[in-house]
């Protein structure tokens, strides 16, 4: 039997309805903030990511799905969408000053060659936004507020929002020098990845997930002591705007994020489900200063975040957040039971009429006995079963059985629509 590849998973049936629900809530919230959808390709030139995400990131160092295509071009399955969205803004010449900020949202699959574990897949889905141009703290804060409110809309009550600032270039340069001095003495006992990080970008060591290394990281010098006045001011402004908007946050001065293009405010959303399971960050993002220019756009800055749909659905499942949500829409409204082969064709066109009125309808496509058809209707989780036989059709009637209430009645064809509206719309 052929099975799914390691680290991938089928999203099917009820689970798929939950994914759709979560994505639609997130999309709706983004649209209320004036963001527009971007659908960019899953395959991109590999150097899009080496140039943007950065050589020192886990993604570029070891997680990219990269291959040569038949034309010997190096192609990568996108590990994230920010780079592609910004590339597309540049390619499509969307950077027109009068239109700033440019606001994009996206949703779709990403690919990373990771060790599969709880909340970590090789193919997973992200929803995210990018807001580029108009470089100030109002813009940065508004994107964080959007993310926070989107999680509230999904029913999360206690979200932990961790924020930090990576400062400006000057702040980071100073800080990196001090960090290198500090880690030099501890490097011997640290993981091989941290050795590489030490040379490529010592900030990245702060993001190490190895337990022993985290102990060393705890005592490292703090970024906050190396911020320039400007960087400090920008961070204070963001915090003040968040507070004014009822957004609670914890400053975490070892938060650095995994990608190289960040600078300024960075943030992560964490949530531990009632069962105590921790899936890692359910969403994360930050400000970027050089990404747009690096991809040959104008010298403007942006901010964005991404949320992992898999992690969101997992915690929502654990905390029964879907129980309060009406996923009923995914149920079938009507299942038609044609009596006798000769009435299947009639039932098919009748079903189309109901569908055109908006009712999800299916027909039993084989000639089966009544009780078998009723079983099928139940297995399909239909709300109503409609019986169409010779007599009913001749008399302009239909027998309707409410499968939940187990009540059956005969309705005149001309009254059917009103009857369905009554039953099915009232239910919602």
∠ CA 6-268-89 to the nearest 5 degrees? 80
Using CB under 6 A as the binding rule, whether residue 44 contacts ligand ATP is answered as no
Nearer to ligand ATP, 142 or 310 (CB): 310
Whose CB is nearest to ligand ATP?
308
Using CB under 6 A as the binding rule, whether residue 294 contacts ligand ATP is answered as no
Which range, of 34-42, 308-316, 390-398, 407-415, touches ligand ATP by CB under 6 A? 308-316
Using CB under 6 A as the binding rule, whether residue 310 contacts ligand ATP is answered as yes
Which range, of 9-17, 225-233, 305-313, 367-375, touches ligand ATP by CB under 6 A? 305-313
Measured distance CA(402)–CA(406) in Å, rounded? 5
Binding mask 248-287 for ligand ATP (x = CB under 6 A): ---------xx---------------------xxxxx---
Could you give phi then psi for residue 233, rounded to 5 degrees? Answer: -60, -45
Q: Going by C-beta distance under 8 Å and a sequence separation of 6 or more, which residues neighbour residue 398?
A: 386, 387, 388, 392, 410, 411, 413, 416
The count of chain residues that interact with ligand ATP, using the rule CB under 6 A, is 20
* Cβ at position 322, least distance to ligand ATP in Å: 18
Given candidates 35, 49, 106, 121, which one binds ligand ATP under the rule CB under 6 A?
121
Using CB under 6 A as the binding rule, whether residue 308 contacts ligand ATP is answered as yes
Tell me the pairing of strands 250-251 and 43-45. Answer: unpaired
Using CB under 6 A as the binding rule, whether residue 84 contacts ligand ATP is answered as no
Which range, of 90-98, 116-124, 375-383, 413-421, touches ligand ATP by CB under 6 A? 116-124
* Cβ at position 310, least distance to ligand ATP in Å: 5
Please check whether residue 231 is in contact with residue 168, taking contact to mean a CB–CB distance below 8 angstroms: yes
b/e map 139-156, b = 16+ CB within 10 Å = bbbbbbbbbbbbbeebeb
b/e map 89-103, b = 16+ CB within 10 Å = bbeeebbeeeebbbb
* Cβ at position 217, least distance to ligand ATP in Å: 14
Neighbours of 407 (CB within 10 A): 9
Strand 43-45's sheet: what is its strand order?
43-45, 74-77, 65-68
Using CB under 6 A as the binding rule, whether residue 112 contacts ligand ATP is answered as yes
Helix (H) or strand (E) segment spanning residue 356: helix 344-356
What residues does 409 pair with on adjacent strands? 400
Using CB under 6 A, list all residues that contact ligand ATP: 80, 112, 114, 119-121, 124, 126, 257-258, 280-284, 306-308, 310-311
């Amino acid at each position: 039997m052929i099975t799914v590849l390691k680290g991938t998973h089928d999203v099917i049936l009820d689970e798929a309805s939950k994914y759709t629900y979560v994505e639609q809530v997130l999309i709706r919230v983004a649209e209320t903030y004036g963001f527009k959808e971007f659908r960019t390709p899953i395959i991109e030139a590999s150097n899009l990511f080496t140039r943007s995400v950065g050589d020192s990131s886990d993604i570029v160092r070891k997680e990219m799905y990269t291959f040569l295509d038949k034309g010997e071009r190096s192609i990568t399955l996108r590990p994230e969408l920010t780079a592609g969205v910004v590339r597309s803004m540049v390619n499509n010449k969307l950077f027109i000053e009068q239109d700033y900020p440019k606001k994009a949202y996206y949703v779709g699959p990403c690919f990373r060659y990771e060790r599969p574990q709880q909340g970590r897949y090789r193919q997973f889905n992200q929803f995210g936004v990018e807001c580029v141009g108009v470089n100030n703290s109002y813009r940065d804060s508004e994107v964080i507020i959007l993310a926070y409110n989107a999680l509230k809309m999904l029913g999360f009550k206690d979200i932990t929002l961790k924020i930090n600032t990576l400062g400006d270039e000057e702040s980071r340069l100073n800080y990196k020098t001090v960090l290198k001095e500090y880690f030099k003495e501890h490097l011997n006992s640290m993981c091989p990845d941290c050795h590489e990080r030490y040379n490529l970008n010592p900030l990245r060591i702060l993001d190490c997930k190895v337990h022993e290394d985290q102990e060393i990281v705890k005592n490292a010098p703090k970024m906050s002591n190396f911020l320039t006045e400007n960087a400090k001011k920008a961070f204070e402004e963001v915090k003040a705007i968040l507070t004014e908007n009822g957004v609670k946050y914890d400053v975490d001065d070892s938060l650095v994020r995994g990608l190289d293009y960040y600078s300024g405010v960075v943030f992560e959303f964490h949530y531990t489900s009632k069962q105590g399971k921790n899936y890692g960050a359910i969403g994360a993002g930050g400000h970027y200063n050089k990404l747009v220019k690096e991809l040959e756009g104008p010298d403007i800055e942006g901010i964005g975040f991404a949320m992992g749909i898999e992690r969101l659905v997992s915690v929502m499942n654990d905390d029964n957040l879907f129980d309060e949500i009406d996923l009923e829409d995914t149920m079938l409204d009507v299942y038609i039971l044609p009596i006798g082969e000769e009435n299947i064709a009639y039932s098919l066109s009748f079903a189309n009429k109901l569908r055109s009125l908006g009712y999800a309808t299916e027909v039993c496509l084989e000639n089966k006995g009544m009780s078998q058809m009723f079983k099928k209707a139940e297995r399909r989780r239909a709300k109503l079963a409609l019986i169409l036989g010779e007599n009913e059709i001749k008399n302009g009637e239909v027998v309707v059985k409410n499968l939940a209430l187990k009540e059956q009645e005969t309705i005149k064809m001309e009254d059917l629509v009103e009857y369905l509206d009554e039953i099915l719309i009232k239910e919602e």
